[in-house]
Amino acid sequence: MSLRHPRVRPLVSCAGLVGLVTFLLLWPVPGPLSGPIPGPLPGTLAGPIAGPVEALANGGTLRLANVPMGAYLVSVFTDPTPVRPDSLDVSVLVVNRTGGEVVDGLDVRVRTRHLGGAVADDERRATREQADDPRYYAAKFGLGAEGEWEIRVVVEGPEGSGDAGFQVRARDRGLLGHPLVLVVLALLPLVLVGGWIVLQSNGTTSVSRDASR
């Protein structure tokens, strides 16, 4: 039976639509608390970004933008999105407030606190060596548990210091969040329609042979 057969074409179109809808519905999206919380935490002040290149250079999700800390402006990004409990990249961009130049030689630390108390508070240094982009300070680690977290970035340097925080929700990706599973689910309707076409074609062939006898 041809794909152009009047009985088959609607099924193929429907299968494609179902596959597309399945793919879009199952694609992971940020949780409701995966971005900056409404209303800054103490020590947090979000402002306009210094420039689009600086804001997007290291990828990830922008959590804090141009927070003043002494003579510096600090922006913070996290990756991946949604936040996973087993792997997190916190990248920090520090520029001079006057000229916008990237600042080196700072002590940058990342503090994490599980709001449910399931995991002990922790602190890690963010370094140039861990960053994918050499202009950033980065800390790569695992949070260790799902749930709501407060992440606070502390910056100390010869021209000032400060800290700022934001909240995220960490959750496991789960089976439906795996890209390969999404592809399989998206293609499944087409596979089913293809199998149905083969069965119908075989049945039609058998009937034709019986009729010719």
pLDDT given for residue 129 in this prediction? 98
Which is nearest to 97 in space by CA: 47, 166, 44? Answer: 47
Q: What per-residue confidence (pLDDT) applies to 35?
A: 43
pLDDT of residue 208: 63
- Residue 4: inside a domain: no
Instruction: State whether 16 and 90 are in the same domain.
Output: no
Q: To which residue do tokens 């709501």 refer?
A: 148
Could you tell me how many residues make up the chain? 213
Same structural domain, 62 and 16: no
Q: Which domain holds residue 198?
A: 9-28+175-205
* 179 shares a domain with 101: no
Q: Is residue 153 part of a domain?
A: yes
Residue 44 lies in a domain: no
Are 125 and 80 part of one and the same domain?
yes
Q: What local confidence, expressed as pLDDT, does residue 2 receive?
A: 52
Task: Kindly state whether residues 76 and 162 are assigned to the same domain.
Answer: yes
Determine the pLDDT at residue 66.
Answer: 97
- Give the pLDDT score at 1: 54
| pLDDT, position 189 | 76
The pLDDT of residue 192 is 74
The pair of three-digit structure tokens given for residue 33, joined into one six-digit string: 């608390």
Asked whether residue 65 is assigned to any structural domain, the reply reads yes
Q: Looking at residue 7, what is its pLDDT? A: 56
Residues 82 and 179 in one domain: no
Please indicate, yes or no, if residue 210 is contained in any of the structural domains: no
* Residues 73 and 159 grouped into a single domain: yes
Q: Return the pLDDT at 42.
A: 42
- What CATH number is given to the structural domain containing 165? 2.60.40.2480
Same domain, 24 and 93: no
Give domain status of residue 34, yes or no: no
195 with 93, same domain: the answer is no
Cα–Cα distance for residue pair 101/19, rounded to 1 Å: 48
Greatest CA span in the chain, whole angstroms?
Answer: 97
d(CA 17, CA 23) in angstroms, rounded, equals 10
Q: How many domains does the chain have?
A: 2
Instruction: Give the up-direction half-sphere exposure of residue 115: CA atoms within 13 A in the CB hemisphere.
Output: 12
**Has residue 120 been placed in a domain?**
yes
Identify whether residues 20 and 89 lie together within a single domain.
no
Domain check: are 113 and 154 in the same one?
Answer: yes
Residue by residue, pLDDT tens for the chain (213 residues) are 555 555 555 555 655 555 565 555 555 444 434 444 433 444 444 444 444 334 444 568 999 999 999 999 999 999 999 999 999 999 999 999 999 999 999 999 999 999 999 999 999 999 999 999 999 999 999 999 999 999 999 999 999 999 999 999 999 866 555 556 556 667 777 777 667 676 767 666 665 666 666
Residues 82, 61 share a domain: yes
37 is a domain residue? no
